[in-house]
A and B are shown apart, each in its own frame.
Chain A
Amino acid sequence: MYVYDTLDKEFLADRASEFREQVGRRLSGEITEDQFKAIRLMNGLYLQLHAYMLRVAIPYGALDARQMRKLAEIARTYDKGYGHFTTRTNLQFHWIKLADAPDILDELASVDMHAIQTSGNCIRNVTADPFAGATAEEVDDPRVWAEAMRQWSSLHPEFSFLPRKFKIAVTASPKDRTAAKVHDIGLVMKRARDGTLGFEVIVGGGMGRTPYVGSTIREFLPAARLVSYLEAVLRVYNRHGRRDNIYKARIKILVAALGAEEFGRQVEAEWAQIGPESDLPDTELARIRSAFAPTAFETLPARSEAFEAAKAADKALARFARNNVKPHKKPGYAIVEVSLKAIGETPGDASADQMDVIADLAERYGQNDIRVTHEQNLVLPHVKLDDVPAVHAALAAAGIASANINLITDIIACPGLDYCALANARAIPIAQDIAEHFRDQDRAEDVGELKIKISGCINACGHHHVGHIGILGVDKKGEEFYQLSLGGSGAEDAAVGQILGPALPAHRVAEAVDTLVEVYLRERSAGERFLDTFRRTGAAPFKEAVYAGAH
């Protein structure tokens, strides 16, 4: 893990003290709410329906045990004993008091954490593959680049007042776990034939009210030129992105208006003028890289007899192994995904006690490494196969051993109208309904990979546009209704879903999802996921079934 040095620490301390002063000026009336709003938003502090919400940055979703324990402590001391992990791999506290916020920032800074740029029209927390450093698929460790970008983007003097927010994701695996193609910039690392590393640069993806899958503007950017190239993209966007209408201010609108080719040309022209002086020196890249040097892995046999025996004896463990345990690059190790989608619970929520359990497990069995996924789950990236049974048992005792990763009950949901001031409808209860409906694990496994994503309004924080089944809350004359869309994906096969038909009332949603699943089970050919079947058959059979009774 990257360990903050004195400079990084002093930077966070300075930020926390600045915010303390700003809160003081607001409380005393020296600045207005309007002026303060922009300031608090730069520190991730929103006003939601019931209280303030503080969004804590988890750069590239990586945490160590000490940090996770601090989050648990903050949850207990300043909130109601829990936190909400988000689709941008951050953590939100939903019951924060403004007067406490400066103390919380100090607490966070004490473990090298912060809330910088978790909101506002700036470069947001950079996300990366949650399996970084653990998967054999990757051509490089994307955290190195994500950390470089964290530093480069922190209080960037030129790019802190962009037309709109700006989100960057980086992955180095062909299997995309970051939703790179629906980010403002998605970076996919590649290794050229001659062995050099580079990025495919995808720009202009995004969700919100006009969803787009991003376009590749450069097939191969030499890795060392990343910062100057980003600077060129951001500069073109900062100058030419629309500022007259916040719904048209994201980079995706500029890219769509100019065309990806023209946008790319402008970026290249700007980049040529910037030159390599803006790039990070090799020495700094090497320094960052050394922080992510592989931890000492033991030499182990690829097969763990203890694990195999435990699986044979324990069906729940076997199920957990099938769904939540993923191959590690080192023999004898595994990547363990911890689902925060227990049936009946709020997707993405973790109690302080659960956070402590994860921290303990990471320390004891997981090389002190924890990741957050954009699907609102956690990952212990380096667990010995021998230790998986013990990890599973501890998770089960804490109520977080749901064996449902990527299954129909592994649902993404934004906070929706239960918390969010912008919402049209609730999202969480819909997720809970659907999960209850598919409580039968055997059926869920039979259905296989099926990504349901729910947003409480068109801002699409719950990624509904890219759900295999997307669900959008809308307001029909004051009643909560839900619009279904099918065929979306946020992964390497990214696509925006197609709206199925008229919105449904809340009590019909789970049933409609059930109908969709039945159609899939009827129509599927061997090896097809729900998404594949949908793409083959088109919407017709699904639509017919869901609206059969309607007239």
Chain B
Amino acid sequence: MPALIRFEGGRMTAVDDPFTEIADDEGMAPGDVIISLTRFQAEGERLLAEGRSVGVRLEPAEEVEALAYDLPRIALVALAFPKYRDGRAYTSARLLRERCGYKGEVRAVGEVLREQAQFMVRCGVDAFAPADGSSAEEWEQASRRFRHVYQRASDGRAPAFAERGE
């Protein structure tokens, strides 16, 4: 099981991941699962009715708006970064937090490198499956590298202009 780092209470902590990722061509596993949007649309109702926690994996081209109605029932949204250069999921994350008001876990999966830590945190991602083997400490350090930021984003950090106003 790949390591999972969770951002909680301002700290990065390595945690056990209770979820199993199920590919579209795999059989369903018991317990808490992460499935694709397509599969969720087909099987989501049933799985939820069984009382399990269900997470949905969104590919970069899939728009978060497609999930808007179901969000309250979804335990986590896993945003795929098939290549770390593919930045669409940053927008997805912000829209989930800022436009849909989603409070559940937003997880980054795929080519997730510590170089992206701060960007991801700022866009509202709060769980990470790093592909570069970084530890929770390294991830935390990377996510706090910059003492100041220049924009408002999903993390509520005060941008430079607000700090200056204080």
Contacts and interface: CB of A to CB of B under 8 A. Distances in A.
Nearest to A11: B148
Contact of A238 (B85, B90, B120, B152): B90
B118 A159 contact: no
Contact of B151 (A156, A243, A273): A156
Nearest to A8: B160
Contacts of A284: 161, 164-165
A7 B84 contact: no
A152 B120 CA distance: 17
Interface in B118-166: 118-120, 122-123, 132, 145-153, 160-161, 163-165
A5 B148 CA distance: 12
B164 A157 contact: no
A243 B94 CA distance: 20
A148 to B, nearest CB: 9
A537 interface: no
Contacts of B91: 158, 235, 238-239
B115 interface: yes
Contact of A161 (B84, B118, B152): B84
A14 interface: yes
A154 interface: yes
Contact of A121 (B85, B150, B160): B85
A317 to B, nearest CB: 45
B87 A15 contact: no
Contacts, number: 99
Interface residues of B, number: 34
Contact of B160 (A7, A18, A35, A273): A7
Contacts of A339: none
Contacts of B17: none
Contacts of B148: 7, 10-11, 14
A160 interface: yes
B69 to A, nearest CB: 17
Given A35-B113, A238-B90, A280-B161, A157 B147 contact: no
A501 B85 CA distance: 39
Q: Is the interface of A mostly helix, strand, loop or mixed?
A: helix
B87 A155 contact: no
Interface string A228-250: 00000001001100010000000
Contact of B99 (A156, A160, A273): A273
Contacts of B119: 155, 157-158, 160-161
Contacts of A17: 145
A161 B63 CA distance: 17
A273 B91 CA distance: 14
Nearest to B85: A161
Tell me which of A17, A39, A155, A281 has the highest count of chain B C-beta atoms within 10 A of its own C-beta.
A155
A161 B86 contact: yes
Contacts of B118: 155, 157
B65 to A, nearest CB: 11
A283 interface: yes
B150 A158 contact: no
A154 B153 CA distance: 13
A277 B153 CA distance: 11
Contact of A158 (B123, B145, B147): B123
A158 B150 CA distance: 12
Contact of A162 (B87, B145, B147, B153): B87
A7 B146 CA distance: 10
Contacts of A38: 84-85, 115
B164 A152 contact: no
Contacts of B39: none
Contact of A159 (B84, B87, B146): B87
A58 B105 CA distance: 40
Contacts of A22: 115
A124 to B, nearest CB: 15
A278 interface: yes
Residue with the greatest number of chain A CB neighbours at <10 A, chosen from B120, B145, B150: B150
A10 B119 CA distance: 18
B165 A283 contact: yes
Given A14-B146, A31-B132, A161-B85, A239 B161 contact: no
Which among B149, B151, B153 has the highest number of chain A CB atoms within 10 Å? Answer: B151
Contacts of A209: none
Contact of B150 (A14, A154, A278): A154
B94 A158 contact: yes
A285 to B, nearest CB: 9
A153 B164 CA distance: 18
A152 B161 CA distance: 10
A151 interface: yes
A11 B151 CA distance: 13
Nearest to B133: A30
Contacts of B160: 7-8, 11, 151
A22 B117 CA distance: 14
A287 interface: yes
Closest 7 interchain pairs by CB?
A: A161-B87, A157-B122, A284-B161, A151-B150, A157-B119, A158-B90, A7-B148
Given A157-B149, A238-B90, 6 more contacts: A152-B150, A160-B90, A238-B88, A283-B165, A284-B165, A287-B161
10 contacts: A11-B147, A14-B146, A38-B84, A121-B85, A152-B151, A155-B118, A157-B153, A158-B90, A161-B84, A238-B88
Interface of A: 5, 7-8, 10-11, 14-15, 17-18, 22, 31, 35, 38-39, 121, 151-162, 235, 238-239, 243, 273, 277-278, 280-281, 283-284, 287
